[in-house]
Amino acid sequence: EAQVTQNPRYLITVTGKKLTVTCSQNMNHEYMSWYRQDPGLGLRQIYYSMNVEVTDKGDVPEGYKVSRKEKRNFPLILESPSPNQTSLYFCASNPGGPLFDQPQHFGDGTRLSIL
């Protein structure tokens, strides 16, 4: 089954303790992206990757890191999490291409609580 898999689904942690949220897709998609969703603010793009070893900042990249060492994986790293990063996070992928005109496939989300 074609899917985007995120882990963990839920995490409660404390300020300053480094954490990684993994994202994997099995559709051989070139493009992957991370979003955070906060009430009333829709989905805001954190980082995206057009292909392996190519990453770019979205609208809210501060406090986050990403890497794209292989096509299927796109982990989101919070080196020193703070309470304002408490949010619902979604990973997404799509085939990519020069027109970038394909829908994104979303994972089930990761709910992070930073105390």
Task: Using CB under 8 A, list all residues that contact another protein.
Answer: 31, 33, 35, 40-45, 48-50, 56, 58-59, 90, 97-104, 106-109
The minimum distance between CB 102 and another protein, in angstroms, equals 8
Q: Which is nearer to another protein, 9 or 18 (CB)?
A: 9
* Residue 82 amino acid letter: S
Give Cα separations from 108 to 63, 73, 101, 102, 105 (angstroms). Answer: 22, 15, 22, 19, 10
**Residue 107 CB neighbour total at 10 angstroms:** 22
Q: Which is nearer to another protein, 9 or 17 (CB)?
A: 9
The minimum distance between CB 68 and another protein, in angstroms, equals 12
The minimum distance between CB 70 and another protein, in angstroms, equals 18
Query: How far, rounded to the nearest angstrom, does the alpha carbon of residue 31 sit from its chain's CA centroid?
Result: 12
